[in-house]
Chain A
Amino acid sequence: MAYQLSRRSFLKGLAAGGALTALTAYGGLKMAPTAAGVADGYPEAAAGARVFRNVCPRNCYDTCSMLSYVKDGILRKVSGDPANTFTNGRLCVKGYTYTRRVYSPDRLKYPMKQDKRGSGRWQRISWDEALDIIARKILDIKKQYGSTLPVCLNKYSGNFDILHYGIEGMMSSIGYTTRALGTPCWPAGIDAQTYDFGTLWNNDPEDLVNSRYIILWGVNPAWTSVHSMRFLYAAREKGAKLVVIDPVVTQTASKADLYLQIKPATDGALALGMARHILDNGWVDQEYLKANAVGWEEFFAYLRREVTLDWASKVTGIPAGVIADLAREYATTKPAAIWIGYGLQRHTNGGQNVRAIDALAAITGNVGKSGGGALYGHLETWGFNYAAMTMPKPAGALGVKKPDGTMSDRFININNFGAELLNVKDPPVKMLWIACRNPLSQDPEPQVVQKAFENMDLVVTVDHFLTRTAAWSDIVLPATTQFEEYGVNASYWHYWVGINEQAIEPYFEAKNDVQIAMLLSAKLNALEPGSCTYPTGGSLEELVGKEFNQKMLDLLGIADYRELKQGPRKAKLLTAAWSDGKFRTPSGKIEIKSSEAPKYGLPALPVYVPEKQAPPEYPYRFITPHWRHGLHSQFQNIDWMMNVSPEPFVEIHPATAAAKGIRDGDWVKIYNEIGYLTLKARITATTAPEILVAYEAWYKDLDYNLNYTVKAVPSDMGKKATGNRGLAFHDNFVNIEKVR
């Protein structure tokens, strides 16, 4: 299906992103001043400001190395750290708002207690009182149920700093508890790459400059990884062609040489159609396959038997001739890179689609090559000790008995948190600790999560703001920002690791998660000696030191972690992932036919699994990607963001709008059998007729939560590497009507 897109509506849809474009649209690889400039090259430093090194820890591809400028104890300004060649001295539009975040009048200043959950009647309490209530509840639970299993932790990525895994450590230190396990973001793709290569590992993104052909497949770095755009532009200046495949005409698509509007969740069919064409034309890299892969003969037999260009065209909506051209260009222009986004694996066939794309990279010999690769993410720089997290259980702690007679924590699915919380029994969950998360905003089915909250005796949330989740808690504890604490951060995209220095004193009574654990430990042990093993003293910087082992130091080429105070270090990894040919699969080769996938009830080959279809009563697919002024539920609540983006909207294709009698700016209701959303319509041909697009965000003063319509339907993969399958966020179907 070829969608009609007039130049005017196309430009209109993109005009709002002009500011961001300005940030990215510089050509070549001009580097910012080097790290030496930190001391003397900045006017702030000359004017007496102290400069500290920080890292933006907000679950973003770019995990920017930052510099913070402090004068008279006040954070005056933040910038990117030029010592990190990926960050290159610049932040994204979100990062530049940090001074507004740190000193936001909305920030939580003190521990607070709510009269009745959701009443809004908050009362300031002391840390001692807050910890006393919490500690007594933990001890009561242990007495009543014989274990701490009714205490449940839900923590994820609001702050990805390694020390924040101390929250998990805090839970371990009180006994066996219930944990929300899994990752909502990217697990299907992780498993797909694990089946194919043994783990996920992308080429250094700075190596994209060496690509001659780049396919951005379901990824929108102009919004979500703005620093990567520099390398993409540089590659293009050297002659590379940039292709974007996406159901939505994103801002990144506007920069591409070729844009293909694909039907959602059909990416595997496109990859397979391309593979068949490559096979038919003899463009397969036989030498590479013979040396590095297994299962390709069976894969080729499947392609010959079941895949044609016409079939791929019918499934994807992309003309057969265009698929053929794309296949030819990709297979014959070397090296060629594919960047696989996270959105395309948020489907019931998402992992399988990633496997088909991996296979495409493998059969063309693009894996393990500089400028090539099937880039998804990596965890190669995350080999810390996790010392803050690894705490012994107190003596006599009881947990879930495993077949071998040992005990374990109890795990419930983070991606079906509400329903599983309602169903968990023997013992039930009675207390929730929520940190680095906002489940009542970001989880699917928040209405179910909220129901589960009703069964709780105590809900504690640690955050910077009174989020939707914090507002439904009994106790909120104010958290420090990265400028108020020590830490260390790695990226799941680039290869840099950086230390995070404390630049300013904590805001009012805010505390770091590890400090909270220490205080809780002291309180618990005062009430019941021996009830908690968490240390009660020690500085955060000492704890950072404990996170480093020899392997990490060697990887970064340093003898001591303190050297990171001189600047972040790039890990000494292979620039091209898998260029050593040492795949971590059971066979040691790329397993185009996976030996592991069938153990999880999945096809061994990357065959096509049909996409989920819309039911007749809910004919529109509701896609809910990242927002350019936010990162999940963070940033959009900051005043500078509110100024440029005061309210949410839903993007509707002109044909759909005409059929429904909806005009630009009308109020519309989006609904399905579980939830609804009322918001303003924005008519734009950047989406397709059967797709509605709204962006995930937390607007602090608006009752906006698009997840009320999203069911917790699992994606196909994720169980192997992350403990639970992912979420098919984008297989969400709704109807729409005009409200007025």
Chain B
Amino acid sequence: MKRFLSSLLVILTIALFLAGCGSSKKSVSVQSGSTDENYRGVIYQDGLQGPESGKPNI
């Protein structure tokens, strides 16, 4: 009986460990990225004529 109980305990521990490993909780973390791999931005205006490079960009 005692042996049965300790075997059960070992199996339970292993099962719980495996369940923990497979849990979705483990897979969530802070993440960020693109939802459209083809997105290349937009050109909002053309013909940019900036000031000469002698002016500080503050």
Contacts and interface: CB of A to CB of B under 8 A. Distances in A.
Interface of A: 155-156, 160, 165, 168, 171-172, 179, 181-183, 379, 382, 386, 389-390, 408-409, 411-414, 416, 418-420, 422-423, 445, 447-448, 451, 492, 647-648, 667, 671-680, 699, 702-706, 708, 711-714, 722-725, 739-740
Contacts of B39: 445, 447-448, 673-674
B53 to A, nearest CB: 5
Contacts of A179: 50, 53
A740 B25 contact: yes
A382 B58 CA distance: 10
Contacts of B24: 740
A386 B54 contact: yes
Nearest to A390: B54
A667 B23 CA distance: 14
Contact of B50 (A181, A492, A678): A181
Given A671-B35, A703-B29, A712-B42, A723 B56 contact: no
A448 B54 contact: no
Given A416-B43, A448-B41, A712-B44, A411 B49 contact: yes
B50 A447 contact: no
Nearest to A419: B41
A725 B43 CA distance: 13
B41 A723 contact: no
16 contacts: A168-B53, A179-B50, A183-B57, A416-B42, A416-B44, A423-B43, A447-B33, A672-B35, A673-B35, A674-B39, A676-B34, A677-B32, A678-B31, A708-B33, A711-B42, A740-B25
A361 B30 CA distance: 44
B56 to A, nearest CB: 6
A739 to B, nearest CB: 6
A165 B35 CA distance: 37
Given A447-B33, A447-B34, A379 B41 contact: no
Contacts of A740: 24-25, 28
Nearest to B24: A740
Interface of B: 24-25, 28-36, 39-45, 48-54, 56-58
A296 B37 CA distance: 51
Contact of A413 (B31, B48, B53): B48
A413 B42 CA distance: 12
B23 to A, nearest CB: 10
A156 B51 CA distance: 16
A723 B42 contact: no
A390 B56 CA distance: 10
B40 A171 contact: no
A678 B41 contact: no
B33 A675 contact: yes
Q: Which of B32, B34, B52 has the largest count of A CB atoms less than 10 A from its CB?
A: B32
B10 to A, nearest CB: 30
Contact of A389 (B25, B30, B44, B54): B54
A271 B45 CA distance: 30
Given A447-B34, A673-B36, A678-B31, A409 B52 contact: yes
A179 B53 CA distance: 8
Given A182-B50, A409-B53, A418-B40, 16 more contacts: A168-B53, A413-B44, A413-B45, A418-B41, A447-B34, A447-B39, A448-B39, A448-B40, A673-B35, A675-B33, A676-B32, A702-B29, A703-B29, A703-B31, A712-B41, A740-B24
Nearest to B23: A740
A144 to B, nearest CB: 23
Nearest to A384: B56
Q: Which 10 A-B pairs have the closest CB atoms?
A: A419-B41, A411-B50, A723-B50, A181-B50, A447-B34, A448-B41, A678-B31, A702-B30, A705-B32, A409-B53
Contacts of B51: 181, 723
B48 A412 contact: yes
Contacts of A382: 56, 58
Contact of A445 (B25, B31, B41, B43): B41
Q: Which of B35, B36, B58 has the largest count of A CB atoms less than 10 A from its CB?
A: B58
B58 A419 contact: no
A319 B27 CA distance: 46
A676 B35 contact: yes
A448 B53 CA distance: 25
A699 B30 contact: yes
Nearest to A702: B30
